[in-house]
Amino acid sequence: LHYHPGNASFAVHALLRELALPFELQLVDRARAEHKSPAYLKLNPNGQIPVLVDGEVVLYETVAIMLHLLESHPNAGLAPPVGSAQRPHFLKWMVWMTNTLQPALMQYFYPERLVAEGNAAGAAEVKARAIAKVGECLAQLDEQMQRSGGPWLLGASYSAADILAFLLCRWTRGFALAPAREYPHIGPYLQRVLGRPAVQQTIAAEGLAAPLV
């Protein structure tokens, strides 16, 4: 797994540990822009982290990698089985996280990519709108936590969706207003995910420091 501490790769890393699979970590040195190097761009032409090399299969896109691992280990109990009532909702939340919540977070972290070079006022506007969009998303997530009856996103069973939700919520920990931990249902939920041994092992292996969420 080509990873960088706390990046999207965390979700794959924690899933590999939850599945108790053997794997090797390969640090991508962002300070040296290794993810933009010709060698890395051969693995992922988008220059983004993570990449999983699984035998002959070289995969990028966090959710695709997670679904690939889950499909390879259908009896691990980390996703509702195909044909179950929860399965379509599992797919919906995985895609929603990668396609709606994550892009809003990316706009928050990289607003300058959406405006002309040097347009600081434009970037600030993008960032403000991204915060508002993330807030809408977190409200939806909070409502789902309540509706599911907990303790997990989909209800009684922990799944890979919880790992991804935890990571994306964690990225809001520096928000001045309403980080995920302050939402009434998400806050205690993040503590429950933090209690998972695989999550703790991932945090330790990546050397993540407090505040964790």
Ligand X SMILES: N[C@@H](CCC(=O)N[C@@H](CS)C(=O)NCC(=O)O)C(=O)O
**What residues line the site for ligand X (CB under 6 A)?**
7-8, 35, 47-49, 60-62, 98, 106
- The three-state secondary structure class of 127 is helix
Binning the chain into helix, strand and coil, the percentages to the nearest 5 are: 60, 5, 35
Q: Min. distance of Cβ 84 from ligand X in angstroms?
A: 25
Q: Min. distance of Cβ 26 from ligand X in angstroms?
A: 14
Q: Min. distance of Cβ 208 from ligand X in angstroms?
A: 13
Of all residues in the shown chain, the one whose CB is closest to ligand X is: 48
CA 127/CA 205 separation, integer angstroms: 31
Of the two residues 86 and 102, which places its CB atom closer to ligand X in the complex? 102
Q: Min. distance of Cβ 108 from ligand X in angstroms?
A: 12
CB of 102 within 8 A of CB of 61? no
Of the two residues 164 and 186, which places its CB atom closer to ligand X in the complex? 164
* Max CA separation in the chain (angstroms): 51
Of the two residues 48 and 86, which places its CB atom closer to ligand X in the complex? 48
Of the two residues 60 and 108, which places its CB atom closer to ligand X in the complex? 60
Q: Quick one: how many helices (H) and strands (E) in the chain?
A: 9, 4
CA 120/CA 45 separation, integer angstroms: 28
